[in-house]
């Protein structure tokens, strides 16, 4: 484990050079990893583990789209693909990758198979941190570990196929066997993490829920919508408003930020853009800090978790979700975006 300086704060970080794949494979050579759930994280993590040479099986409810997707991805019923209970029984490491609501529903089944010495693996701190709401309380004689990729399962898989990696956090919630550290780092390397940084279950879920509702998804959509609306109200065409709001950011500027940082991106834009950005960014910061502070308090109080549990557990959740997504999809801004994307050169080849 390396200790690296991040802006004056020393953090524990594990790299692939320090903990190579060969070491991870040796550590888990006698383990059977059961990936439970084949929705958001399940496909990417299980496929990466399989391609890296680990003994991995998938547990999924039979008869649904996710089961069919698993079959299409090469998992074989009765060999590497099983119903959830059978997969849990076969596993020594149970990777609990169902949705948060799905974990609550499946917990009684999973718990039955958490016999002494097994490991319960998560990629989100929700179920453990909010145990009073979820009822997920592991037995004392199993390891409880987490590797949380900083991105979607789709991105995790895509970067793995490209020979790159997605950074992940890791945490040990319970070390019953004395092997929890090697197990969690080996899982992190196995799923294709770029590097692993240390956290705990509470910090992971607090930062994750804040980020999803904030800059990663909620706030960015709100900013997009506000700027697009102001441009349109002032006579700009849909194409012009979308290109200045979304297309230039996602296709031109954010890749530069990802490669070299915000200051480098500023330095490599026009002097007029530099001046405007430097003059206005603190005003946006100051305007939104109260919203982010309120959001964090709601997360820490468990209110956001409860809203998610209540909403996602409703029998008509999928129908309601589709209506909300349709509102975005059918808005002028994102209908314009669909047209703009279709005109990108690579789409016309």
Q: Which of 22, 57, 21, 54 is nearest to 37 (CA)?
A: 57
> 150: which DSSP letter?
S
Query: In 3-state terms, what secondary structure has residue 271?
Result: helix
Whether the CB-CB separation of 36 and 29 falls below 8 Å is answered with no
Q: Which residues contact 155 (CB under 8 A, 6 or more apart)?
A: 44, 149, 166
Sort 338 into a burial class: Cβ within 10 Å, 0-12 / 13-18 / 19+.
exposed
Q: Which residues are catalytic?
A: 124
H or E segment and range at residue 145: strand 143-149
Under DSSP, the state recorded for 124 is S
Residue 109 near residue 84, CB atoms below 8 Å: yes
Phi, psi of 118 (to 5 degrees): -75, 170
Task: Give the dihedral sign, CA 289/293/295/299.
Answer: positive
In angstroms, the CA 322 to CA 317 distance is 9
The HSE-up count of residue 47 (CA atoms within 13 Å, CB side) is 22
Selection from 95, 30, 24 nearest residue 58 by Cα: 95
Rounded to whole angstroms, the Cα distance separating 194 from 147 reads: 12
Distances (CA, A) of 87 to 61, 93, 114: 11, 10, 12
* 193-198/9-15 β-pairing: antiparallel
């Amino acid at each position: 484990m390396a200790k690296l300086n991040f802006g004056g704060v020393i953090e524990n970080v594990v790299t692939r050079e320090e903990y190579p794949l060969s070491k991870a494979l040796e550590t888990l050579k006698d383990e059977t990893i059961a990936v439970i759930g084949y929705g958001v994280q399940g496909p990417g993590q299980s496929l990466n583990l399989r391609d890296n040479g680990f003994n991995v099986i998938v547990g999924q409810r039979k008869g649904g789209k996710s089961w069919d997707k698993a079959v299409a991805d090469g998992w074989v019923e009765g060999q590497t693909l099983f119903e959830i209970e059978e997969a849990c029984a076969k596993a020594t490491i149970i990777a609990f990758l169902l949705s948060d609501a799905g974990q609550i529903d499946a917990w009684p089944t999973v718990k039955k198979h958490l016999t002494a010495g097994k490991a319960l693996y998560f990629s989100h701190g929700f179920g453990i941190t909010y145990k009073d709401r979820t009822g997920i309380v592991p037995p004392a004689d199993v390891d409880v570990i987490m590797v949380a990729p900083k991105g979607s399962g789709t991105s995790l898989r895509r970067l793995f196929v490209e020979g790159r990696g997605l950074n992940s956090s890791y945490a040990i919630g319970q070390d019953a066997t004395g092997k929890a550290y090697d197990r969690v780092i080996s899982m992190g390397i196995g799923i294709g993490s770029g590097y692993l940084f240390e956290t705990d279950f509470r910090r992971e879920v607090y930062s994750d829920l804040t980020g999803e509702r904030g800059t990663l998804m909620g706030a960015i959509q709100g900013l997009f919508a506000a700027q697009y609306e102001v441009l349109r109200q002032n006579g700009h065409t849909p194409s012009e408003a979308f290109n200045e709001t979304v297309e230039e950011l996602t296709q031109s500027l954010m890749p530069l930020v990802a490669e070299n940082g915000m200051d480098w991106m500023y330095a490599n834009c026009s002097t007029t853009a530099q001046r405007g950005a430097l003059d206005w960014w603190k005003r946006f910061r100051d305007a939104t800090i109260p919203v982010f502070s309120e959001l964090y308090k709601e997360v820490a109080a468990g209110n956001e978790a409860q809203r998610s549990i209540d909403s996602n557990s409703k029998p008509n959740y999928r129908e309601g979700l589709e209506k909300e997504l349709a509102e975005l999809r059918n808005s002028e801004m994102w209908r314009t975006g669909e047209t703009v994307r279709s005109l990108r050169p690579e789409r016309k080849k």
